[in-house]
Amino acid sequence: MSDKMSESALQALKIAFTYMPKAIEVTKYEYGDNYQNTLDHIETVREMLLINDVDPEEVYGDINPESTPNSTY
């Protein structure tokens, strides 16, 4: 069984990922005792993106190219 997603499902996952908090923003203070669960969810989504040959660090720029600064190199 393959974990590869259809293009439309992958696009939906990318969009959802752009609205997720960054792992560094997830603290026990902000998320309470559920913070580890939130971190686990973020990691699961990141892993699925990687399985589908998508760099999680590039997703925001992929989804919102007009809001992403141009590269300087």
Question: Is residue 5 pLDDT above 60, yes or no?
Answer: yes
**pLDDT digits over 34-73, tens only?**
999 999 999 999 999 999 999 999 999 889 888 866 655 5
Q: Could you please report the per-residue DSSP string of the chain? A: ---PPPHHHHHHHHHHHHHSPPGGG--HHHHGGGHHHHHHHHHHHHHHHHHTT--GGGHHHHH-GGGSPPP--
pTM above 0.75, yes or no: yes
